A and B are shown apart, each in its own frame.
Chain A
Amino acid sequence: MAFEQIDKTLVTHDLVQDLKWDAELRAQFEADQVSVLDRYPLKPEERTAIDTGDFRKLYDMGLHPYLGGQLARLMYGNAAGPDATRAVNRLIASLTGEERPDDRTTA
């Protein structure tokens, strides 16, 4: 994804930053994702893409890939090893449409 495709005004950027920086908000997100997302003025298609884990759609809307990778870790696992590997594989699967096992560690 080229830099010029990034939409710096996308609200999802603030969501990801807040989740990284606020442990209490992150705990709420893990317990009840809907209630946290309801607080952000996301566009309807942006909200649907987060609800369904559709990173391709979010990137098409201008999500910064670095924050996309972090959103995947917030959703699927952040710890080094199997957790983060699962997050990476699910992100790639969404972006490419290919089937990927959660534990794959190669291109």
Chain B
Amino acid sequence: MGDIVLSVAASHAPGLAGLYSGAPEDTKAEVDKMYGTMGAEIVAADLDVLILVGNDHLANSRVLEYPDFLVGMAAEHMGPYEWFKPWLNCRDYTLQGRPEVAEALISGMARRGVLFVGRRENLRYDDNLSIPTVLCDFDANDVPVVPILMNCNVPPVPDQRQCYAVGEALGDVIRNDLPNGMRVGLFGSGGLSHEPGGKRYFFIDQDFDHWFMDMLEAGDHHKLLNEATPERMEESGAGGTAELFAWFVVLGAIGNRPCSRLGYTAYDNFKCGVGAVRWEMGS
């Protein structure tokens, strides 16, 4: 019986590493505060495993054969993948994996009717894992990680309700299938508003971002599930904002918990609204 002892979610915009040095000072301070807080709390949580759910970004599978959820089963996760290095401009890292946890997640989700595809080799990681790793110092602090890379933009995309339901099943697996006393953290990686590859590439929908985080803080999951639709996500950034569905997996896994935002900033050149939240998990 595993315990979810920590849950956070945050943006992973590549500019947070590659374009950080040119950002305004107040933006840098907000970024430092958000990711520094998460990093410190992740270390303090003394996790046996951090399960990170984030957009795959078409990095690991062809469009014609795209899985909705891909689990990294390797004993070590190394990144960033070579082609993304110049674009991310962050340090190389090696993270401990937890193959036995990855196997338990895949098997447990299958028993609950959810297909999690797994690969034993190192996956190709871009900003999805790399940005949280280097900003929260997972590597320096030996945080063991199981990455779950998901489909946020290859149709048909699992929507907010499907992702919430997947999260409910994931929470059930953690609580009932993982070893007794295992300390588990959850990290929803992605968002907020952005439109990569679109004609509004530099657009950040700050109204949407605050609306979304306000709803998280209000804790009304019924309203969230009714209103944070794929259509609403597309309005605020086609093909990008929908990676907030990763946050719905976390929401489903933990249920209704008090949530507070750790910060927010909107800097044009990041091409993405950048925010972070933390849920209170209690004892």
Kindly identify which residue among A26, A69, A83 contacts B196, using a CB–CB cutoff of 8 Å: A69
Q: Nearest-CB distance from B35 to chain A (Å)?
A: 18
| Chain A, range 16-30, C-beta contacts under 8 Å to B | 17, 20-21, 23, 26
Contacts of B198 in A (CB 8 A): 1, 65, 69, 95
Q: Are A105 and B83 in contact (CB under 8 A)?
A: no
Contacts of A68 in B (CB 8 A): 197
Is B260 at the interface (CB under 8 A from chain A)? no
**Chain B at the A interface: SS class:** loop
Q: Are A65 and B238 in contact (CB under 8 A)?
A: yes
Q: Are A91 and B201 in contact (CB under 8 A)?
A: yes
Contact with A along B29-70 (1 / 0, CB 8 A): 000000000000000000000000000011100111000000
**Chain A at the B interface: SS class:** helix
Kindly identify which residue among B19, B83, B155, B234 contacts A78, using a CB–CB cutoff of 8 Å: B83
Is A14 at the interface (CB under 8 A from chain B)? yes
Kindly identify which residue among A66, A79, A107 contacts B57, using a CB–CB cutoff of 8 Å: A66
Is A43 at the interface (CB under 8 A from chain B)? no
Most central of B63, B156, B239 by chain A CB within 10 Å: B63
Contact with A along B209-229 (1 / 0, CB 8 A): 000000000000000000000
Contact with B along A38-74 (1 / 0, CB 8 A): 0000000000000000000000000011111110110
A50 and B144 alpha carbons, distance in the complex (Å): 43
Q: Are B63 and A13 in contact (CB under 8 A)?
A: yes
**Residues of B in contact, count (CB < 8 Å):** 40
- Given A1-B238, A17-B58, A66-B57, A92:B199 Cβ within 8 A: yes
Q: Nearest-CB distance from A31 to chain B (Å)?
A: 17
Interface size band for A: 35 or more
Is A4 at the interface (CB under 8 A from chain B)? yes
- Given A3-B153, A64-B58, A105-B269, A78:B86 Cβ within 8 A: yes
A105 and B24 alpha carbons, distance in the complex (Å): 13
- Given A88-B201, A91-B197, A23:B82 Cβ within 8 A: yes
Is B157 at the interface (CB under 8 A from chain A)? yes
Taking CB as reference atom, which chain A residue is nearest B57?
Answer: A66
